A and B are shown apart, each in its own frame.
Chain A
């Protein structure tokens, strides 16, 4: 099971801009590399990342073969209400990881 780390402030003021950082464990094998015997190493990458704030999608990213292993994504959102932020990474070979964090808006 792949690991994921997310970082965001746990308590913020309403209307504040919040930076969210996410890091996920994945080799991001491009599909262009070969073994020493010349065989292609099959592509194995994350295709999609989705972030939802209380169920509503606020950020989405498509990932491609040139993206580094263990992709780090940082983005911002505006704090509107207390609740849960969920993060989902899906990709080749049925890869799927979900992580969540709670945020308190004062």
Chain B
């Protein structure tokens, strides 16, 4: 453990010992993207495609979109054509209901379904560079568009399960996501400002990771921070949390690929 991460760990523990739960969701008009809590330099890095390293993954994703893959020998573009048209707004409504599986799937899972079922290729593992690139490319087509999660009878139970996870104290530090992200946003955790925890920029380039990463990777970081055992990548609990987070951020604009500290 580096000195920096040890200092951070101590900060999380101290924080856990001094907090109580009250439980109130943030009013819609007070919601702010993590972007607004960043330094001016980091915001400038995100704003300019010539300095935002996430753009490399978007460009790689574009190349993959046009490349034939799998036993079927088809490219994404063979079926979906120009992504700027066909994928516009798609990421803004994921996780979305999948009729065959009778559950919501997130964007990475949806892309992997096309890989296995349509391209007849092996699925890409979570955080695999190509999967991040394809996801970033698809999500980038919705940059600037508002999140449009509209729960219905089928997705509501999953959304409610995600909300319950968000509100539940967990881990050795016995903290709920809501205690930081609903109740204490804007305050400091060691040197870091606690953001509201909106999923508006994913997959995003995190300076701490030195790489692009998925929303689930970010959620695993927060779970490890509260000494909870993170769910495995792709777990239903994560998709439920993603669905709740996207609904909680409904109407906010997508920023993919965002940059975060």
Contacts and interface: CB of A to CB of B under 8 A. Distances in A.
30 contacts: A3-B56, A3-B59, A3-B60, A5-B49, A5-B50, A5-B55, A6-B50, A7-B48, A7-B50, A7-B51, A21-B48, A21-B50, A21-B51, A23-B50, A23-B51, A23-B53, A23-B55, A25-B53, A27-B210, A68-B207, A68-B210, A69-B53, A69-B210, A69-B211, A70-B53, A70-B56, A70-B210, A72-B45, A72-B51, A72-B53
A25 B57 CA distance: 9
Contacts of B53: 23, 25, 69-70, 72
Nearest to B54: A70
Nearest to A5: B50
A27 B45 CA distance: 18
Contacts of A3: 56, 59-60
A41 to B, nearest CB: 13
Interface in B23-45: 45
Most buried by A among B50, B59, B210: B50
B152 to A, nearest CB: 41
Bin the interface of chain B by size: 10 to 19
Bin the interface of chain A by size: 10 to 19
A76 B196 CA distance: 38
Nearest to A7: B50
Shortest 10 CB-CB contacts between residues of A and residues of B: A7-B50, A70-B53, A69-B210, A25-B56, A5-B50, A21-B50, A3-B56, A72-B51, A3-B59, A23-B51
Most buried by A among B45, B210, B211: B210
A24 to B, nearest CB: 9
Interface in A34-82: 68-70, 72
A18 B69 CA distance: 44
A21 B59 CA distance: 18
Given A5-B55, A6-B50, 9 more contacts: A3-B56, A5-B49, A7-B50, A7-B51, A23-B53, A23-B55, A25-B53, A25-B56, A27-B210
Interface string B193-225: 000000000000001001100000000000000
A70 B45 CA distance: 12
Contacts of B55: 5, 23
Interface string A1-44: 00101110000000000000101010110000000000000000
A85 to B, nearest CB: 14
Most buried by A among B55, B56, B207, B211: B56
Contacts of A28: 210
Contacts of B56: 3, 25, 70
